[in-house]
Amino acid sequence: MKKLIFLFAAVLTCGAFFQACSDQKTYAEMLEEEQDAIDAFIKDRDINVISQTEFLKDTLTDTARNEYVQLASGVYMQIVDRGSKNLADTVKKNDLILVRFMEYGLLEGDTTLSNLTSPETVDEFKYTVSSTSIAGIFTSGFMLNYYSSSAVPAGWLVPLVYVRDRAHVRLIVPSKMGHSTAQNYVYPYYYDIRKYQIYK
């Protein structure tokens, strides 16, 4: 009788374990959910997606037509304002960049982080370049404090080759180009980066 009770308990435990496992999403399912969220956001915001080939003709996006370019990295970018009229005002190796931004979670459907209403706080990062890669390292601000990571989302760095000092861009950043939390949980984010200011 004791063996029968033990066997019954073991079967119940295994059943509960497998049920819990089946409730977890696979990575493929999470990627599909992410793409669905990006597609829904594009549809809801009436975004007109243009190809990278079309964008590279003049490296402009028409805000009147709500154009975003889908780049090879998977990031969608809209250049609202290219920034300084001085062609030399581009981001260079070891520049400090000050950023005003709003982060919106596409899966949550809500603003998750912003420094737009905090005039005393600005996010700052150092732009680094090596022979094989570019990177950004947060030195202060909300992103560093909230996510406890100094790594700037790769998606934030994508626009820097197309814009100049004090540029305004909007981005849809898939998880693979996001911060560590986005990557770990397969979360896409929308960013309204109101200002990339080169700190001089």
pLDDT in tens, 131-163: 888 999 999 999 999 999 999 999 999 999 999
Half-sphere exposure of 89 (CA within 13 A, CB side): 16
pLDDT of res. 19: 46
Please give the domain boundaries of the chain with CATH numbers for all domains: 27-199 (3.10.50.40)
pTM for the model: 0.86
Distance CA 162, CA 157 (A): 10
Cβ(77)–Cβ(56) under 8 Å? no
DSSP 68-124: EEE-TTS-EEEEEE---S-TT----TT-EEEEEEEEEETTTTEEEEE-TT-TT--EE
